[in-house]
Structure formats: C-alpha cells, structure tokens
Amino acid sequence: MRQAKAPRPRKTRQRDSRVTDRFQYRDFLAPRYWGAWCFIGFMQLIGRLSERGRVRVAGWLTPPLMTLARSRRHVAARNLQLCFPELSEAEQRALLKRAFFSYILGMLETARSWVQPMEPMRDKVRWEGLEHLDAAQSKGQGVLLVGGHFTILDMAGALFGLIREYDLIYRKHDNELLNYFMTRSRERWCSRSIARRDMRGLIRSLREGRIVWYAPDQDYGRKASTFVPFFGIPTATVTMTTKLAQSSNAVVVPVFFYRDEDPSNYVARFEAPLPIPSDDADADAAVFNEWLEARVREQPEQYLWLHKRFKTRPLGEPSVY
C-alpha cells in the first residue's frame, strides 16, 4: 500500500538569503539574452505536458537524440562498458537506450518542476524511511542529505520541498538569465540556494540545524578529490562530505529518489545515517561510493551516465574516453 501523505510543513522562507532577490526578468531584455528567452519559452511549453505526454515524447525523442548526440552517446556507452562488463554487447546497447530515455524523460520532468505548481504531485510519491530523517533532525543537528545524480534530480528536489524545508546547493550557470530562471524556479520549493563554492553559507546552514541536499558524485578534478573505488574503478571522489560534516557536526543521511515501475510515480527512500565523518576522508569517500553503487545497481538506467564520471584518472593512467 502507498504510504499515507506526509504532513505539509509550515513554510518560513528566508527571503534575505535568496539568490533571485537581486534580479527581475526585466533586467534581461538585451539582445544577448534572446537565445536564453527562447529556451525558457520552450521549457514553459514542454513543462505543461501531461504525465503520459512526457513518457510519449521521451520515447519519440530517444532514437533521434541518440543519433545526434554522438559524443554523449559515446560517454554513456563507455561508462556502461566499464561498470557492467558482465553484460553482453546487446544488453549494454539496450541499457544505453533505456538510459537515454530516462535522461530525456528527466529533462521533461525538470521542465514540469520548474514551471508548474508541485502540490498536485503530492500523492505521486511513496516516502520510505522518513524516520531516519526525523531522528537526525530531532538531535538538533544539521542534516547533510546526500544522494547521486539520477535523472529525476530536479523533480526529486521539488517533491521533497512538499514535505520538508531544506537548502539546495547549486552550480551557477554562465548565462545570467538562465541562472536566474533556474534558480528562481528551484527557489519555489527550497528555502535557500547556496552556491557550490560558498563554504561559509553551507556550514552556516548546517550549524543552524537545517537540511542541506548535496550530491557529491561528479568529477570535480584532482585537486578536490581522492581516488576510491566506484564499480571497481579508481574514481576521483570529492572529500567535501567529510569536511562539511566535521565543520558543522551534521548527520549524513543518504536518500535515493527514483521512478517507480509506473514512471508517473516516484519513490523516496531515506536510509540510516552513513558513518561519516570518520578520521579518514578517503574511507568516508569509499563509504559513499559503495552506498551509491548499490543504489545505481537497483535502477541502472536512471543514473546520469552521460557525465564523464571517470574523466580524471590517477597520475600516469590514460583517459578512458
């Protein structure tokens, strides 16, 4: 049975900390923003597709985009070869097609979460393990909510905003209008947007006992990372999770958001806190990768394989791409 609806929290938005308070749309009327305005119009259009419409459109777009996006197809195919060598070539091709479909569907879901109210989606989520999140918050400590870059990431954030207040870490877009549009859209369902490089802001939120959602599973280069296994491959993994938890005394709670068998329904699974931080940042990074790998194996087509996860290699090791 689907779990009863979680209570809706009392919203206490902190306007003085919101990124988009500094701008309005009329600040972006110059010709250099016209291309971005076209993209925003497109997102407004596809964001109004029905649930069935999103699935249909994703199915239609998958074959042509797989053909056109040759470099991304190569990256995704190579990632699957490295992570699932036990699969035959035919099985890897089938998984690659499902991964592209999931990615495209995720983009359509992102548009929906950016331009439409989320309240009608409340009954579309099965919440599991909320007791782990509640127990962590009851200690009066901040909660570092860690997860991976799965294709429903923005939709997941919007759905989570229906039941809890939380702060979101974001990476600034180079185009100021697109950055404003994306951040303004996300700030409809999160309390604060914190720039990825704003360490003081991150630690301050956690010390205030807030929830901060953080996905530490992308390649940010050699300087910020250590090499620990992911699918048996030495993978550049950031040690920031340990630093944030140590600096703020936060509890590190993992969350796994994914589409259910019916792609119009979703599951959010909160799990017991990870044993982070320890006195060994490398060991902590390995703990997170081990947890993430297990979740990816549950829903392999929903992970973001188009990212060059293994781009940074140990010194002397050639590129895998």
What pLDDT does residue 19 have? Answer: 54
**Tens of pLDDT, residues 259-293:** 999 999 999 999 999 999 999 999 999 999 999 99
What pLDDT does residue 9 have? Answer: 46
Judge whether residue 245 has pLDDT over 70: yes
Residues 168 and 170: their CA atoms lie apart, in Å, by 6
* 211-214 and 225-230 strand pairing: unpaired
Q: Which amino acid is at 111?
A: A
CA 46-49-55 angle, 5° bins: 100
**Domain residue spans in the chain?**
22-302
Contacts of 20 (CB under 8 A, 6+ apart): 180, 183, 184, 187, 193
% of the chain surpassing 90 pLDDT: 81
Going by pLDDT thresholds of 50, 70 and 90, the confidence category of residue 45 is very high
For residue 128, the cross-strand partners are 269
Judge whether residue 16 has pLDDT over 70: no
Which of 168 and 10 is assigned the larger pLDDT? 168
What pLDDT does residue 197 have? Answer: 84
What pLDDT does residue 34 have? Answer: 95
Question: 3-class secondary structure for the chain?
Answer: CCCCCCCCCCCCCCHHHCHHHHCCHHHHCCHHHHHHHHHHHHHHHHCCCCHHHHHHHHHHHHHHHHHHCHHHHHHHHHHHHHHCCCCCHHHHHHHHHHHHHHHHHHHHHHHHHHHCCCHHHHHHEEEECHHHHHHHHHCCCCEEEECCCECCHHHHHHHHCCCCCCEEEECCCCCHHHHHHHHHHHCCCCCEEEECCCHHHHHHHHHCCCEEEECCCCCCCCCCEEEEEECCEEEEEECHHHHHHHHHCCEEEEEEEEECCCCCCEEEEECCCCCCCCCCHHHHHHHHHHHHHHHHHHCHHHECCCCCCCCCCCCCCCCCC
Q: Cβ of 58: how many Cβ atoms within 10 Å?
A: 22
What pLDDT does residue 172 have? Answer: 83
Q: What is the mean pLDDT of the chain?
A: 92
Average pLDDT over residues 251-259: 98
Average pLDDT over residues 45-71: 96
Nearest alpha carbon to residue 19 among 182, 154, 215 = 182
The answer to whether 307 and 218 are in contact (CB under 8 A) is yes
Judge whether residue 49 has pLDDT over 80: yes
What pLDDT does residue 313 have? Answer: 97
Going by pLDDT thresholds of 50, 70 and 90, the confidence category of residue 4 is very low
Judge whether residue 126 has pLDDT over 70: yes
**Tens of pLDDT, residues 131-159:** 999 999 998 999 999 999 999 999 999 99
Q: Which two tokens stand for residue 159?
A: 């759905």
